Amino acid sequence: MADPRDEERPAEVLTFIERFAAEMVEAGMQRMAARVFSALLVSENGALSSAELSERLQVSPAAVSGAVRYLAQVGMVHRERDPGSRRELYRVHRDQWYETFTSRSGVLARWENTLRTGIDTVGEETDAGQRLAETAAFFDFLQRELGAMMDRWREHKATM
């Protein structure tokens, strides 16, 4: 499953992988997970085996395993069997970014509910209660806007 771009422009492909991974690390993702995700994202069919990831990134299979486990837990990749083989492939989701951002809505809802409990705990009229209320209102706003934005994305994508 070698990617022909690795033979044609190996330095450029690896530079891109490392650059995008660095951007994700800057945003808070674990370094190895960011590198593995970037390598999968840039691969021709969006899927690579553990051995291919190890070779491409020049890291141990254990490092790949830990990164893939994390990425699967957060819903950024999934495992599948290579047809006719016993090896597993790791694949980025087709609508990766849509799925990632849509799943954040549930996180925002949980945070908002917890914040509302905090308002009751510290008192609505206190400075802390007002900060919590503003934060809860912000998360409520984000949830509504995110849903509308995802609807617009689906419409836009259909025209592409």
Q: Please report, in tens digits, the pLDDT of each residue of the chain (160 residues total).
A: 455 545 566 789 999 999 999 999 999 999 999 999 999 999 998 999 999 999 999 999 999 999 999 999 888 898 888 777 788 899 998 777 777 777 777 788 899 999 999 999 999 999 999 999 999 999 999 988 988 888 898 899 899 8
Q: Cα separations (Å) of 109 from 59, 97, 112, 119, 131?
A: 38, 19, 5, 15, 17
**Which CATH architecture describes the domain 4-92?**
Orthogonal Bundle (1.10)
Determine the pLDDT at residue 3: 54
155/134 Cα distance (integer angstroms): 32
- Which residues, 6 or more positions from 81, have their beta carbon under 8 angstroms from its beta carbon? 87, 88, 89
Residue type, 43: S
* Cβ-contact 53, 60 below 8 angstroms: no
Determine the pLDDT at residue 8: 63
Determine the pLDDT at residue 55: 94
Per the structure block, which two tokens stand in for 104? Answer: 């954040």
Determine the pLDDT at residue 86: 80
70/87 Cα distance (integer angstroms): 19
Determine the pLDDT at residue 54: 96
Under DSSP, the state recorded for 123 is -
19/82 Cα distance (integer angstroms): 29
Beta bridge partners of 78: 91
Half-sphere exposure of 78 (CA within 13 A, CB side): 9
Write down the pTM of the prediction. Answer: 0.73
Determine the pLDDT at residue 1: 46
62/81 Cα distance (integer angstroms): 19
